[in-house]
Chains A and B, each alone.
Chain A
Amino acid sequence: MTMEIISVSLADIAKAAVDMMTRGWRLVVITCTAVTEEYDITYSFAKDNDLRHYRMTVPEGELIPSIGAFYGGAFVYENEIHDLYGFTFTGMTIDFGGTFIRAAVPYPFRKKEAPAPKITKVTSDGGKRANQKPADAAKEDVL
């Protein structure tokens, strides 16, 4: 199992995808990772038991050309990254317009200004939920 990561620019990703398709590699996954300032978007391809990755680094909210024209299965990953990280893909085969994963918070996996708390506090009454009604909470305090 080899793992090679090749850097690619935003403009070249479609070309790289065509190249991989003609050589018989299949699309495994598109991953989005938040790094210090920007986001890494990694396209992973597989042939037999080898993996090869193309990675591009993009700023938040960038327009990314879709590779759905070459890989019919790409739309699930592209819609997912759109819904969770807020990137827009141009020319997706099926565009759900932000309804693929319906999250209560828009773009929940996007970087936040303040880092997420390391441990959520559990109160002694056994973990009150934040959305509980005040009446219920008061009852729990008695318990």
Chain B
Amino acid sequence: MTGRRTVIPFGPQHPVLPEPIHLDLVVEDEFVVEAIPSIGYVHRGLESLVDRREYADFVYLAERICGICSFTHSSTFCQGVEGLMDIEIPARANYLRTMWGEYSRLHSHLLWLGLFADSLGFESLFYNAWKIRESILNEFEATTGGRVIQGACKVGGVCRDVSNEFLSGMDKRLDDIETEMQEMTKVFLSDYTLKKRLVGKGILKPDDAYNLGAVGPVARGSGLAMDVRTSGYLAYGDIGVKPVTTSGCDGYARCEVRCKELFQSADLIHKIIVAMPDGDIATTVKGNPDGEYFSRSEQPRGEVVHYLRGNGTKYLAQLRVRTPTLTNLPSLVVMLAGAELADVPQLVLTIDPCIGCMER
């Protein structure tokens, strides 16, 4: 039977892939038997820069690990340094970080939904998703000064404050965004063509997902209620988060989780704005970090871990970033086994791959 097997290279250049990843697809007839991923096209060695930049400056570099979850990277890094130095940041800074984190989840999920629609050839839905995303980016630009790379976090707090009047304006504008999102997600969840191409495709069983270390929407689409936000870092402890899960285990379930998380995030932002405390936005930081710390956060794509080790100087000894895509990669291998060749592109997208993030 082995004579019928063919190896088809997929990527690193492919219309659905914005970033380079290569897959060797072992194909028998029209079905994928095995997929072997290979990465390494965009490895920048960013982590090794940590012993050449002061920890306070490295925040800006940590933010550039990824262009989509940039804010979460900087806040996780700051959280790590603050953990090393035992700094308690002001409550308002905590809430602002949480709010921007949720806005970045909205923007990331809308980006993914758009790209996903585009990968299925649904252009108008793609434009629609990105149109909504634009209003989220405007909020970012108006509050932090940056559309995609916000640069609003620093060790000891945040760089910019948002006035309370502006916050209530954001609250109102978010209602309109929600209405638009409602209309858009209706298409994602009930369109005949989309369903045809997603339901029952790319099955990832809950046991497999757990054992392979899947995180974020990939794990939650398989019914695992895994969400770092439930550990109550930042202001999530006060606000309260209940993970969104679906039990479909297929591509449609992962899409559904992301659609539902849009409204969860919007809901969280409403709560944060209402509960926003007054006060300072940053504390003064003195001294240098020493010791080691594992800092965890929930990114739009799943759990991110920053491991920091200080040596008592202003340069950290080591930083190691474990991004969600890296740990979702083994799940992708399982998902692709048994899939039809024509379904491979959108199944790769259902894990929301971020290669730049994965290789640092």
Contact = CB atoms under 8 A, between A and B. Distances in A.
B124 interface: no
B322 A29 contact: yes
Interface in B255-305: 293-294, 296, 303, 305
Contact of B51 (A75, A102, A103, A116): A116
Interface string A72-111: 1101110010010000000000101001111100001100
- Give the secondary structure class of B's interface: mixed
Contacts of A21: 211
A108 B214 CA distance: 28
A101 B211 contact: no
B119 interface: no
Contact of A33 (B296, B318, B331): B318
Given A1-B231, A1-B296, A76-B326, A118 B320 contact: no
A73 B211 CA distance: 7
Interface string B318-347: 101010001101110010000000000000
B38 A99 contact: yes
A34 B330 contact: no
Given A33-B320, A99-B38, A108-B45, A26 B211 contact: yes
A1 B36 CA distance: 35
Nearest to B329: A76
B77 interface: no
Given A51-B294, A73-B212, A33 B228 contact: no
Nearest to B45: A108
A49 interface: yes
Interface string B222-249: 0000001011010000000000000000
Interface in A43-70: 44, 49, 51, 53
Contact of A31 (B211, B303, B320, B329): B320
Interface in B48-91: 48, 51-52
A122 interface: no
Contacts of A51: 294, 296
A69 B353 CA distance: 25
A37 B25 CA distance: 42
B14 to A, nearest CB: 19
A118 B314 CA distance: 11
B11 interface: no
B359 A26 contact: no
A42 B318 CA distance: 13
A75 B334 CA distance: 13
B322 A28 contact: yes
B305 A29 contact: yes
A100 B38 contact: yes
A114 B359 CA distance: 26
Contacts of A126: none
Give the size category of A's interface with B. Answer: 35 or more
B231 A33 contact: no
B326 A31 contact: no
Contact of A103 (B38, B43, B322): B43
Contacts of A102: 40-41, 43
A33 B316 CA distance: 12
Nearest to A94: B36
Contacts of A34: 318
Given A1-B233, A100-B40, A103-B43, A72 B212 contact: yes
Contacts of A116: 48, 51-52
A49 B228 contact: yes
Contacts of A3: 293-294
A123 B52 CA distance: 18
A26 to B, nearest CB: 6
B210 interface: yes
A119 interface: yes
Contacts of B201: none
Contacts of B317: 33
Interface of B: 36, 38-41, 43, 45, 47-48, 51-52, 208, 210-214, 228, 230-231, 233, 293-294, 296, 303, 305, 307, 309, 315, 317-318, 320, 322, 326-327, 329-331, 334, 359
14 contacts: A3-B293, A28-B303, A29-B305, A29-B327, A33-B318, A71-B212, A72-B330, A73-B213, A73-B330, A76-B327, A100-B39, A103-B43, A109-B48, A116-B51
Interface of A: 1, 3, 21, 26-29, 31-34, 42, 44, 49, 51, 53, 71-73, 75-77, 80, 83, 94, 96, 99-103, 108-109, 116-120
Nearest 9 pairs between A and B by C-beta? A73-B213, A49-B231, A29-B322, A73-B330, A102-B40, A101-B40, A73-B212, A72-B212, A101-B43
